[in-house]
Amino acid sequence: MFSLMFANWFFCAKNQVLLNLPLEITIIEFRILKAKQRIFAPLMLQPLDILSIAQKHPMMQEELELVLEKERQIPGSVQYSIRRYNKLPTWNTEDVGMMVYHFKKNEPTSNYLEVRFCLSGNMYCKERESECGHCKVGFSKNCPEKTQTVDVLSFRYSPTHLSQFVKGKKQSSFTDEILNFKHPSSFSKMLPLCSRTRMVLESLLNNNYTDSLENIYINAQTQMLLLYSLECMLGDKEEEEGFSCKFLANEADREKILKAREILLQQIGEPVTIKELSRKVAINECYLKKGFKEMFGATIFDFYQGQRMEHARYLLYEKGLSVTEVSMMLGYSSISHFSTAFKKHTGLKPCELLLR
């Protein structure tokens, strides 16, 4: 009997990190947990659904009224889904986030890093696409087409996509292990929703872009979401710490850096030099480069090039444009230069993507 209890205790302690349970868990609690795992074994193979975690009380499937659904499934790119549900008055839903690291050593193509979020209390206008009369004239609060929503967002990053952030870099941190899929075991971790993460999520829900411009915008926002999620998970940087670049304490200077990012996204097919960019936003080049790197976690060139190649992937795969058409749209004078840049970013030649 003693050896059985010791075996149970040892198994529990060994798996405490993976299960994220307090080490002082009792034998009774552990047995209850194991019983639940046996009952729900098929469900436990996958990370818990974020909506189930956010909802304090069980909800019936028939209660879920979907008011908006968006998905993108492009090989090698960020795959995402946005689902907005009509919120019933009886629902008690918390805002939650989760990071899922999925790793299989012998099946590298199945690896992925995913962030999931559930937000409650946002408003959605059912006539948004046509911009209903109330919203158009600024009476959105009185709009009869508006409904309160519970929003579920999921963003899945492939190893191919993440490799751009660690390529040619010596691994020195847990972040690098995650981005390069060198961490040896899968895990799920709840994420706190800081104000920066909320701002990105709300911008994804409420932007008015469509078609290609929407794709460019979402590509940029998903990169910020990854940065903030990793910071939240690892605790590398507390929001209250502020900026290491002192001039960024000035709101006007931060706005200039944000404006520079907007210009880069607007001119995705018209390359702009750093000198031109600094003049457009009225800040010197040195401040622009340092501030951009600190605020967005990438150099201006790396950010811009990454966005161009992600948009190229979208135009090739989703829109069915030819390599020649895409290279011209993105401002390349040579198809070979475009193909080289595309392969450097994605690991594939443009023609290879079309065959997938």
Helix (H) / strand (E) element for 294: namely helix 285-296
| Predicted local distance difference test score (pLDDT) of residue 45 | 33
* Boundary-marking domain end, from 204, 235, 266: 235
**Whose CA is closest to 70, among 158, 130, 154?**
154
Close Cβ partners of 164 (under 8 Å, ≥ 6 residues apart): 302, 306, 345
**Do residue 118 and residue 248 come from a single domain?**
no
- Tell me the average pLDDT across 262-281: 90
Cα distances (Å, whole numbers) of residue 254 to 174, 247, 259, 291? 29, 8, 9, 8
% of the chain residues with pLDDT over 70 = 74
**Whose CA is closest to 78, among 132, 25, 153?**
153
Tokens of 102: 């999925």
**Do residue 73 and residue 122 come from a single domain?**
yes
pLDDT of 283 higher than 70:
yes
pLDDT of 25 higher than 80:
no
Under the banding of pLDDT at 50, 70 and 90, the label for residue 8 is: very low
**Do residue 75 and residue 140 come from a single domain?**
yes
pLDDT of 80 higher than 60:
yes
**Do residue 70 and residue 148 come from a single domain?**
yes
**Range of 2-11, 50-59, 317-326 with top mean pLDDT:** 317-326
Domain count for the chain: 3
How many whole angstroms separate alpha carbon 216 and alpha carbon 218?
6
pTM above 0.85, yes or no: no
How many whole angstroms separate alpha carbon 332 and alpha carbon 326?
9
The residue segments making up the domain with residue 217 are: 50-235
Using alpha carbons only, how large is the chain's radius of gyration in Å?
Answer: 23
pLDDT of 293 higher than 70:
yes
| Predicted local distance difference test score (pLDDT) of residue 356 | 64
**Do residue 65 and residue 86 come from a single domain?**
yes
Under the banding of pLDDT at 50, 70 and 90, the label for residue 133 is: low
Residue 291 · residue 284 · CB < 8 Å: no
| Predicted local distance difference test score (pLDDT) of residue 56 | 63
**Do residue 217 and residue 260 come from a single domain?**
no
**Do residue 57 and residue 117 come from a single domain?**
yes
Backbone angles phi, psi at 154, to 5 degrees: -135, 135
Close Cβ partners of 177 (under 8 Å, ≥ 6 residues apart): 171, 183
Q: Indicate which CATH number applies to the domain containing 312.
A: 1.10.10.60
Residue 217 · residue 209 · CB < 8 Å: yes
- Tell me the average pLDDT across 192-199: 85
**Do residue 75 and residue 146 come from a single domain?**
yes
**Do residue 118 and residue 199 come from a single domain?**
yes
pLDDT of 236 higher than 50:
no
**Do residue 109 and residue 91 come from a single domain?**
yes
**Do residue 197 and residue 140 come from a single domain?**
yes
**Please, what is the angle between helix 285-296 and helix 274-281, to 10°?**
90
How many whole angstroms separate alpha carbon 123 and alpha carbon 212?
25
**Do residue 195 and residue 125 come from a single domain?**
yes
